[in-house]
Structure 1
Amino acid sequence: MKKHNFSSGPSILPQEVFEQAAEAVLDFNNSGLSLLEISHRSKDFVAVMDEARALALELLGLENKGYQALFLHGGASLQFAMIPYNLLGANQKASYLETGTWAVAAAKEARLFGEVEIAASSKDANFNYIPKEIGVSPDASYLHLTSNNTIFGTQIQSFPEVTIPVVCDMSSDIFSRELDFSKFDYIYAGAQKNMGPAGVALVVVKESILGKTGREIPSMLDLQKHIKGESMYNTPPCFAVYTSLLTMRWIKNNGGLAAAEKRNREKAALLYAEIDRNPLFKSTVQGEDRSVMNATFVLTDERLQERFDALWKAANISGLTGHRSVGGYRASMYNAMKIESVQTLVDVMKEFEKQA
C-alpha cells in the first residue's frame, strides 16, 4: 500500500512519473535499450535534454529573456561554490541573507573567494523567521537568498528589491508558485525535493552576468562552458534529467505554476489550521514566514510523543519526523502530494486529541 510520504527529500513525485520513469529504465522510447544504457549523445536523449531545458524556462516565464537553463551534477551544494566562482571577482564582496542551514553553508563557500557580508540573519532565533530589514552594499557582486528553508519551515513571501544581481536557492520550492522570476539573475535547485530524484541540479542563469570575474575557472565549474556545451559538457545524469522532465510535463499538464500554487496553499492551509486549533500542537513558525512546502511543529507535551508517533505510523504516514536541529515534526507537502494525504495527517491529529 502506498504510503503518505511527508519526507523532506528525496521526496514524493507524481505516481505517473514513477511509472513512466520505471518503464524507461526497462525500455526507453521503444528502443530496446534502457534509459540507463543509451548514449547521452543519442538522438533520443538529446531530445530529452533540449525539452527539459526549454520547459524549465517556459514554466518560469523566462523564454527569450536572456536566460539559459542547465542540468548539472553536484546538487545545490556544488552551486554554493560555482556561484562565487562565476560571479565573485578578486577583491569583491557578496551579500548573503542568512535564513537557515543551507544559507550558512552557501556563505561559507563564498568566503573562499572573497568578502561576504551578511545582509541580515535570523540565527538569533534558530532561524524561525525571515528578516525583513536587510542591508545590502550597492557595490556587492550579488545578493544570495534561500527562498524556502526546509529544515526550519520558513519561506520568503516578499523578496527584497535591490540593484545588484539576485541569486536564489529554490531547491525546496522550485515550480511550486508563481513569481516574477525575471527579478532573479541566477536560480538554482537540487532536484530531489520538488522536481526529480537526487543527482541533478537545475541552474537558470542570465547570460549577461557571466564572464566578469577576471579569473580562469576550472572547466567543470565554468557555467559558460556548460552553456556552450548545451548542458552536456560531460555525461549528464540521464535518469535524473529525464525524471525531472517528466515532472515538469506533469506540472504543465496540470495547470502550470498557478494551479500548483493553488493546490499547495490549500494543503498548507488545511494543516496549519489544525496545528493552530489543536491544543496538543504548536507551530515553530508564526505569521507570514510559514513555509507552504514544509510545516514544522512540536507537541505541547513531549511526554505524548510515543503515542502520537504510533498513531501516525499506523495511518501509513512516513517521513514526519523533524530535523534534529529543530525537533518535533516536519510535514513536507511538495507539488506531488495530494490533499488527501494531508487530510489523513489532520485526521490523525484530531484522533490524537480525542485520545489524550
Structure 2
Amino acid sequence: MKERTFNFSAGPSTLPVEALEKARDALFDFAGTGIGIMEISHRSQEFSAYILEVEANLRTLLGIADNYKVLFLQGGGSSQFFMVPMNLLLDKGKKATYLNTGVWSKKAIAEARLFGEVAVGFDGSAEGFHRVPRPDEFTVSEGSEYLYYTSNNTIYGSEYSYIPQTETMLVCDMSSDFLSRPVDVNRYGLIFAGAQKNLGPAGVTIVIIREDLLERAPLSVPTMLRYKTHADKGSMFNTPPVVNIFVAGEVLKLLKKSGGLEAVQQRNMEKAALLYEVLDSGDYYRGYAERESRSLMNVSFNLATPELESKFVAEALAAGMSGLKGHRDAGGCRASIYNAFPKEGVERLAQFMTDFAQKNPA
C-alpha cells in the first residue's frame, strides 16, 4: 500500500486510519448481516441500534444533558444558516445578534436577514478578519432571541478561546472545532457542526438543541426544515446519511478510547504549538490571525510574495504534504491539523518550513 499523504486540507479532512479500515470492512458486511453499510436499511434492527450508540457516545464525550436533543441531519453546516433563523427567529418583530468574524458568519448573517432583524454585535471585516472579539468587545442588541457566533474560522485561522458571556441564549456554529476540546453544552441553546473536519465525511451535520426550542418554529416552516420533525423521529423522518453516521460512530469510539476531549485538546495544543513556534521564530512567515485569536485547528500564514507561496505549496506536495494552499479570501498558506491529523505530519511540516526558509531567502 502506498504511504499515505499528509492531508492538510481544511475539509474534507484527515480521518483516523482505524475508522477508515472499519468503514472499508463495513462496505461488505455491516454488523454481521452480510449486507454492506451502503446497502443496509436505516430501519433495520442493526442500524437502529448503531445510531443510538453513536448518540450515546456523543452525549458521553460532550456531557450532553437529557433536555437536549441530538440530531443527525443533511445539508451541511450551510443549511443551518437558514434553519436556525427559520426555527428560532421567523416571527414578526423578532431579532438576533450575530458576531461577524469571517466568511461563514457573514453568510449566516445574510441568511438570517431573510427571516428577521439582525444586529451585528462585532464586525471584523474592516480589519480583514484577523481576530475574534475580546470578551468585552462585542455587544448584544436588546431584545435579541439569541447571540450567534462561529467558534473557529477555518479561512483566517482564528478561534474563540472563550464562551461569550451573555444572558442571551447562545447559538454556535462549531463546524471546524467540534470535539476538539471540552464544551459546556448547557451554556447553549443550539450547537451545530458539519462533520467533515473532526467527526467524519461530508454529508452529515450534527445539531444539538435544547428541547424547549423545538416548539418555536411557526407553522409556515416546511416540515423537513423543522428541528421538531427530526427530533420526534430520532433523525429517521427520512433516510439519514447512513454511511456518514457509521464513520462518525467509529470516530467517536476512538475519541472515547483515546482519553476523551481533555486528552484531545492537549494533543491539539501540542500540535499547533509546533507550527506557531516556527511562525514566531522570525519574520519569514507571517501568521494571519493575531496571537490572542489563534486557532488550534487551522494555522494560516503568508510568505513574502505570492510566488514564494506557490513554490512552498508545490515543494510541500512533492514532499508528501497536500492541501497547504490558503483560501482565496486570505491567500497565503494554511495547515489544517484537526483531531485525526497525526503529530508526525505536523513535525514534518515544521521541519519543512524551517528548511524552506533557509533555502529560499525572501
TM-score range, shorter chain: over 0.9
**How many residues are treated as equivalent by the alignment?**
355
- Percent identity at matched positions? 43
Point out 4+ residue stretches in structure 1 off by more than 4 angstroms.
none
* Greater Cα offset, 54-63 or 75-84: 54-63
**3-state SS of paired residue (1:210):** helix
Opposite residue 162 of structure 2, the aligned amino acid is S
Opposite residue 71 of structure 1, the aligned amino acid is F
8 Å contact 2:309–2:333 — kept in the other structure?
no
**3-state SS of paired residue (1:192):** coil
Residues 58-207 of structure 1: pairs in structure 2 closer than 5 A: 58-64=60-66, 66-88=67-89, 89-132=91-134, 133-207=137-211
Cα 1:39–1:137 shift into 2, 3 Å: same
Partner of 1:211: 215
**3-state SS of paired residue (2:145):** coil
Opposite residue 278 of structure 2, the aligned amino acid is E
C-alpha distance in structure 1 between counterparts of 2:310 and 2:193, whole Å: 35
1:342 and 2:346 matched: yes
| Counterpart selection for 1:18 from 6, 17, 20 | 20
Partner of 1:293: 297
C-alpha distance in structure 2 between counterparts of 1:57 and 1:142, whole Å: 23
C-alpha distance in structure 2 between counterparts of 1:147 and 1:271, whole Å: 21
Opposite residue 28 of structure 2, the aligned amino acid is L
Opposite residue 340 of structure 1, the aligned amino acid is E
Opposite residue 104 of structure 2, the aligned amino acid is W
C-alpha distance in structure 1 between counterparts of 2:255 and 2:142, whole Å: 37
- In the superposition, the TM-score normalised over structure 2's length comes to 0.95
C-alpha distance in structure 2 between counterparts of 1:307 and 1:162, whole Å: 46
**3-state SS of paired residue (2:47):** helix
C-alpha distance in structure 2 between counterparts of 1:286 and 1:107, whole Å: 24
Cα 1:192–1:37 shift into 2, 3 Å: same
C-alpha displacement of 1:159: 2.0
| Counterpart selection for 2:336 from 311, 332, 338 | 332
Opposite residue 160 of structure 2, the aligned amino acid is I
Partner of 2:280: 276
Opposite residue 6 of structure 1, the aligned amino acid is F
Cα 1:7–1:347 shift into 2, 3 Å: same
RMSD over aligned Cα atoms: 1.3
C-alpha distance in structure 2 between counterparts of 1:213 and 1:191, whole Å: 25
C-alpha distance in structure 2 between counterparts of 1:7 and 1:224, whole Å: 34
- In the superposition, the TM-score normalised over structure 1's length comes to 0.97
8 Å contact 1:26–1:35 — kept in the other structure?
yes
8 Å contact 1:315–1:344 — kept in the other structure?
no
Partner of 2:270: 266
C-alpha displacement of 1:90: 2.2
8 Å contact 1:53–1:71 — kept in the other structure?
no
